[in-house]
Amino acid sequence: MTTTEEILRRIEKGGTLDELANEFGMRKSVLMARIEFMVRAGYLREISSREGQGCVGCPMGEMCSVPVPGGGGEWVKMYMLTEKGMDCIKNE
């Protein structure tokens, strides 16, 4: 079974949900559940735009090259390691 540390290390490197799920040999829904658990546990935080501002309000707005789907209110979800997450992968 893929450990939390392995998932955190891979998220730190970047990639899409499809890429990570394929690499770990798990369904996307399972990986997403693990990611949501890591958010609740404080290892990850979602990078989100300020309400109503889209990419302009995002703290990564100047550096990001991820295309945002147009219309329909769908936004790309992105995550970053918290200090707790960074400590977790440093200690392994």
Predicted local distance difference test score (pLDDT) of residue 71? 43
Predicted local distance difference test score (pLDDT) of residue 25? 94
Residue 40 CA to residue 32 CA, distance in Å, equals 12
Does the predicted TM-score (pTM) go above 0.75? no
Predicted local distance difference test score (pLDDT) of residue 10? 92
Domain boundaries, the chain: 4-90
Predicted local distance difference test score (pLDDT) of residue 38? 96
Residue 28 CA to residue 33 CA, distance in Å, equals 9
Predicted local distance difference test score (pLDDT) of residue 47? 76
Q: What CATH number belongs to 4-90? A: 1.10.10
Sign of the CA dihedral running 17, 8, 34, 56: negative
Predicted local distance difference test score (pLDDT) of residue 72? 45
Series of mean pLDDT values for 10-residue runs along the chain (92 residues): 89 88 93 95 80 57 58 64 93 62
Predicted local distance difference test score (pLDDT) of residue 8? 94
Predicted local distance difference test score (pLDDT) of residue 49? 54
